[in-house]
């Protein structure tokens, strides 16, 4: 396999996952904006959506103050935003197009059809269909992609690179959602209580498809530290940091075995995995959740660079 | 002038049908137009879904267009195909002998069969190739021969494509789509399969690996996803099970070529390149090429890698050399050409120039180096203004123009907006040269969709058809 092929597989995985994550971020913002607000407006919901996606500065320069209309447009259809759902699906498709000979037809068809549907989407159509329905569509297409990837790809190096992209992106996203939402919902030192909080926490859990999982693991009372535990430390939770890191390590190990060589990315991923595997939520809160998550996001970014260096941009 | 009546490949005019079309005729009569329309739209959906698109960047709108696919197949009988393929093979053998000679002893020039200046001052002549040995003395491994039919037994070659001919993927996908849409048509008769092409291509490329190679590593070299034929490059790489590489994926060390892989460098032995000579190696050819591989030509010179088609093959398919093809065949093979050349007027010759200017309304005028149907004048369908304009251009630079009489291209039944009607077609079969010279039974049939049009190029509104060869 070519390094460039590995690179395209990896980014195809990342971009599809990023599109889904955008849909999830907007979905939770939308749900929260439906709840009564003390000030009567929901600027913070849309602000935080932009913050999670990492587009704060770009957005401020082009749109100014976020509201539902411009935030949704920016994160879904804006072609100038390289992380909008539109741009992600286009980039995923371009990556897939470059390597379509290396993936099963089903994978290409899933990605290609998704792009053609996305390309035909206008703001009017999106709104008339209902934004929520659009987010569901994005999640469905992403699920389809995952399904055909796991169900049809030869589980060799190509598969490992595609999956690495998926889990690196997902871990990053869960950490960002958690960081921003915790900051909004639970500013330093404040206590939790009241029904509004309850809805907001459940909306957060829903956004990562974790509400039912939470109840099954921890029961019906929503406790912030347990929400953090679920999304950071519980391996069985498919969008938790622990789970994502476990997948990353497994795929890197498989590549190491296939090539008979281990690199810095193996060490770094293993170290992060061990911290999650043996971590305790009390320690994380002692360090500071924000600090912990920021550190994770940085390590994740470093891991991305190492993977590129070790496999994707080789001599 | 009299508009020549075209030979129709299905109907004989008296109501009877040429026997090779019996089954198609029956199928057309039995199938209601609505069902045809439904199937045609289904075909579009399949092509779009599979990503079989063609990029045209000269106009606005969708940069990824579908080439219109006509669902009515074109049919050849076993006998007519035999003759046609023998003619194509003959031509390719002569082309390879010609290229080898041009880069070695130049006997044909010394014998005065082809004017030396036409070759040596040709842009397609690559002095870097002088004296260089290539495996099995084969230069043009893959050749697409554009031909048209004007009668029951008359075939004319319009052009040889000995550089990087494209279109073979359409031949394969058209068949695939036809079999999906109309399986019943294939059950009733024996239509020769074409899907062995990728295997044949792989065999051909393996057979011309550098001599030291036991188990050669082959790769397809593409300019990248923005190339109009990228889909085909990927398609062929997939079909052969080899890597599809861009220049950036390769590097040269100690005059050997390597691919960059996650496991480390991997040696490459044969490159099926879909990149013009000019862009192959910035150290030898165009220095501004970002698509090529620095040092590739040195590796080629050292015999450490083979390139298909060979650098400098373009000398054989240049329109100014085309005129001499019958001579070239006689010179190297001692045989009479099986396929006709179209009589060609070369505007660099004063007599020819005068004739061309006097008969512009009857001729097709082309640029010697042009391709894709751009920069040409179709006399019979042109306006006076267009002819005057073209006459000025010809007078200004006569040496870049050739002219040919308009041939009455054969027609085939085609599904168009008004129903089923005859439309003009051409044919591009693909000839492979390795240990043997051969072609799969089929080719790319292009069809000019507007009524009366003779321009089949996909960039000018042409479509394609599945091409059947019936087994005898």
B262:A97 CB<8 A: no
Find the DSSP H helices in B226-324: 230-240, 277-280, 296-301, 319-322
User: Would an 8 Å CB–CB cutoff place A10 in contact with chain B?
Assistant: no
Predicted TM-score of the model (pTM): 0.81
Q: What whole-number distance in Å separates Cα of residue A225 and Cα of residue A244?
A: 20
Contact B407, B129 (CB under 8 A): no
pLDDT the model gives residue B432: 98
pLDDT at A180 over 90: no
pLDDT the model gives residue B160: 95
The angle formed by the CA atoms of residues B63, B66 and B72, to the nearest 5 degrees, is 165
| CB-closest option in A1, A105, A116 to B261 | A1
Q: What whole-number distance in Å separates Cα of residue B153 and Cα of residue B439?
A: 20
The single-letter DSSP state of residue A223 is -
pLDDT the model gives residue A32: 82
User: Would an 8 Å CB–CB cutoff place B263 in contact with chain A?
Assistant: yes
CA A27 and chain centroid, separation: 13
Q: Hey, is A27 helix, strand or coil?
A: helix
The CATH number of the structural domain formed by B344-406 is 3.30.1490.270
Residues of B in contact with A104 (CB under 8 A): none
User: Would an 8 Å CB–CB cutoff place B78 in contact with chain A?
Assistant: no
| CB-closest option in B225, B235, B260 to A2 | B260
- For chain B, the domains span 344-406
Categorize the per-residue pLDDT at B59 as very low, low, confident or very high, splitting at 50, 70 and 90.
very low
Q: What whole-number distance in Å separates Cα of residue A144 and Cα of residue A146?
A: 5
Task: Kindly report, residue by residue over A200-216, the tens digit of the pLDDT.
Answer: 788 889 888 899 999 99
User: Would an 8 Å CB–CB cutoff place B192 in contact with chain A?
Assistant: no
Contact B398, B160 (CB under 8 A): no
* Nearest chain B CA: its distance from A92 CA (Å): 14
Task: Kindly report, residue by residue over B368-419, the tens digit of the pLDDT.
Answer: 766 555 678 888 888 999 999 999 999 999 988 989 998 889 999 999 888 8
Contact A94, A71 (CB under 8 A): no
* Nearest chain B CA: its distance from A311 CA (Å): 4
More confident residue, A96 or A99: A96
More confident residue, A196 or A90: A90
Task: Kindly report, residue by residue over A222-254, the tens digit of the pLDDT.
Answer: 888 899 999 999 999 999 999 999 999 999 999
Residues of A in contact with B230 (CB under 8 A): 97
User: Would an 8 Å CB–CB cutoff place B44 in contact with chain A?
Assistant: no
Report, as an integer, the average pLDDT of A251-266: 96
pLDDT the model gives residue B245: 94
Lowest mean pLDDT among A75-89, A184-198, B19-33: A184-198
Residues of B in contact with A314 (CB under 8 A): 260-262, 264
pLDDT the model gives residue B1: 36
Report, as an integer, the average pLDDT of A10-36: 91
A4:B246 CB<8 A: yes
Contact A157, A258 (CB under 8 A): yes
**Closest-CA residue in chain A for B251?**
A315
Q: How far is CA A206 from CA A25, A177, A203, in A?
A: 10, 12, 5
* Nearest chain B CA: its distance from A97 CA (Å): 7
Residues of A in contact with B249 (CB under 8 A): 2-4
More confident residue, A85 or B289: A85
* Nearest chain B CA: its distance from A109 CA (Å): 6
CA B378 and chain centroid, separation: 21
User: Would an 8 Å CB–CB cutoff place B137 in contact with chain A?
Assistant: no
Residues of A in contact with B225 (CB under 8 A): 94, 97-98
- For chain A, the domains span 1-153, 158-315
A100:B249 CB<8 A: no
Q: What whole-number distance in Å separates Cα of residue A294 and Cα of residue A287?
A: 11
Task: Kindly report, residue by residue over B318-360, the tens digit of the pLDDT.
Answer: 888 999 999 999 999 999 999 999 999 989 889 999 999 999 9
A5:B48 CB<8 A: no
Categorize the per-residue pLDDT at B176 as very low, low, confident or very high, splitting at 50, 70 and 90.
very high
pLDDT the model gives residue B2: 40
Complex prediction ipTM: 0.79
First to last CA, chain A: 14
Longest Cα–Cα distance in chain B: 69
Residues of A in contact with B235 (CB under 8 A): 101
| CB-closest option in B51, B245, B261 to A97 | B51
Mean pLDDT across chain B, nearest whole number? 90
**Closest-CA residue in chain B for A103?**
B238
Characterize A103-130 residue by residue with b for buried, 16 or more Cβ atoms within 10 angstroms of its Cβ, and e for exposed: bbebbbbbbbbbbeebeebeeeebeeee
Q: What whole-number distance in Å separates Cα of residue A197 and Cα of residue A185?
A: 7
User: Would an 8 Å CB–CB cutoff place A154 in contact with chain B?
Assistant: no
The angle formed by the CA atoms of residues B341, B347 and B350, to the nearest 5 degrees, is 120
pLDDT the model gives residue B316: 96
* Nearest chain B CA: its distance from A158 CA (Å): 10
Task: Kindly report, residue by residue over B77-128, the tens digit of the pLDDT.
Answer: 999 999 999 999 999 999 999 999 999 999 999 999 999 998 999 989 999 9
**Closest-CA residue in chain B for A107?**
B50
First to last CA, chain B: 41
User: Would an 8 Å CB–CB cutoff place B45 in contact with chain A?
Assistant: no
A97:B246 CB<8 A: no
pLDDT the model gives residue B58: 38
């Amino acid at each position: 396999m070519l390094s460039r092929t590995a690179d395209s597989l990896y980014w195809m995985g990342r971009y599809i996952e990023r599109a889904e994550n955008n849909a999830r971020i907007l979905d939770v913002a939308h749900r929260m904006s439906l709840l009564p607000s003390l000030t009567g407006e929901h600027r913070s919901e849309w602000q935080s959506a932009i913050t999670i996606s990492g587009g704060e500065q770009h957005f401020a320069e082009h749109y100014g103050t976020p509201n539902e209309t411009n935030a949704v447009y920016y994160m879904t259809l804006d072609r100038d935003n390289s992380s909008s759902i539109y741009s992600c699906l286009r980039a995923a498709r371009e990556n897939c197009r470059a390597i379509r000979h290396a993936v099963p037809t089903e994978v290409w068809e899933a990605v290609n059809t998704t792009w053609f549907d996305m390309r035909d989407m206008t703001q009017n159509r999106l709104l008339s269909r209902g934004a929520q329905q659009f987010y569901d569509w994005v999640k469905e297409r992403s699920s389809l992609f995952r399904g055909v990837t796991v169900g049809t790809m030869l589980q060799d190096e190509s598969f490992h690179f595609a999956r690495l992209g998926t889990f690196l992106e997902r871990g990053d996203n869960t950490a960002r959602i958690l960081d921003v939402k915790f900051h909004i919902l639970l500013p330093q030192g404040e206590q939790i209580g009241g029904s509004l909080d309850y809805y907001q926490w459940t909306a957060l859990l829903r956004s990562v498809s974790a509400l039912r999982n939470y109840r099954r693991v921890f029961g019906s009372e929503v406790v912030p530290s347990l929400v953090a535990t679920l999304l950071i430390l519980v391996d069985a939770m498919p969008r938790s940091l622990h789970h994502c890191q476990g997948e990353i390590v497994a795929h890197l190990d498989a590549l190491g075995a296939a090539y008979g060589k281990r690199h810095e990315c193996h060490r770094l991923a293993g170290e992060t995995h061990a911290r999650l595997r043996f971590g305790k939520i009390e320690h994380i809160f002692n360090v500071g959740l924000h600090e912990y998550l920021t550190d994770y996001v940085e390590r994740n970014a470093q891991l991305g660079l190492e993977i590129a260096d070790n496999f994707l941009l080789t001599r | 002038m009299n508009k020549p009546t075209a030979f129709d490949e299905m109907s004989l005019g008296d109501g009877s049908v040429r026997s090779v079309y019996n089954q198609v005729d029956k199928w057309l009569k039995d199938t209601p137009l609505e069902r045809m329309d439904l199937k045609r739209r289904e075909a579009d959906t399949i092509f779009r879904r599979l990503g079989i698109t063609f990029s045209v960047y000269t106009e606005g709108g969708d940069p990824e267009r579908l080439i219109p696919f006509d669902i009515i197949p074109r049919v050849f009988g076993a006998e007519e195909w035999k003759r046609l393929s023998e003619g194509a093979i003959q031509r390719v053998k002569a082309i390879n002998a010609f290229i080898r000679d041009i880069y070695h002893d130049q006997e044909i020039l010394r014998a005065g069969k082809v004017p030396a200046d036409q070759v040596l001052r040709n842009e397609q002549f690559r002095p870097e190739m002088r004296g260089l040995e290539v495996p099995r003395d084969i230069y043009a491994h893959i050749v697409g021969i554009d031909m048209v039919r004007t009668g029951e037994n008359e075939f004319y070659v319009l052009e040889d494509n000995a550089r990087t001919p494209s279109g073979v993927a359409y031949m394969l996908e058209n068949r695939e789509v036809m079999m999906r849409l109309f399986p019943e048509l294939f059950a009733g008769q024996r239509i020769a399969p074409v899907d062995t092409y990728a295997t044949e291509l792989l065999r051909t490329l393996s057979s011309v690996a550098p001599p030291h190679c036991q188990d050669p590593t082959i790769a397809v070299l593409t300019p990248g996803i923005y190339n109009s034929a990228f889909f085909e490059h990927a398609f062929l790489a997939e079909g052969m099970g080899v890597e599809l590489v861009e220049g950036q994926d390769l590097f040269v060390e100690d005059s050997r070529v390597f691919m960059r892989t996650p496991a480390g460098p991997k040696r490459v032995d044969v490159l099926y390149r879909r990149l013009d000579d000019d862009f192959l190696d910035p150290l030898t050819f165009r220095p501004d090429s970002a698509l090529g591989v620095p040092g590739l030509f040195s590796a080629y010179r050292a015999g450490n890698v083979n390139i298909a088609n060979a650098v400098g093959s373009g000398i054989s398919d240049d329109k100014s050399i085309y005129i001499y093809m019958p001579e070239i065949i006689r010179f190297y093979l001692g045989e009479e050409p099986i396929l006709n050349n179209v009589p060609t007027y070369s505007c660099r010759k004063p007599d020819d120039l005068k004739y061309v200017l006097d008969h512009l309304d009857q001729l097709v005028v082309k640029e010697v180096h042009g391709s894709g149907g751009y920069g040409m004048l179709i006399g019979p369908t042109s306006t006076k203004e267009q002819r005057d304009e073209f006459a000025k251009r010809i007078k200004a630079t006569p040496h870049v123009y050739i002219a040919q009489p308009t041939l009455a291209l054969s027609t085939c039944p085609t599904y168009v907006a008004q129903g089923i009607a005859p439309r003009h077609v051409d044919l591009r079969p693909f000839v492979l040269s390795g240990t043997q010279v051969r072609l799969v039974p089929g080719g790319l049939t292009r069809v000019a969709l507007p009524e009366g049009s003779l321009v089949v190029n996909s960039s000018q509104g042409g479509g394609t058809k599945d091409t059947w060869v019936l087994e005898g």
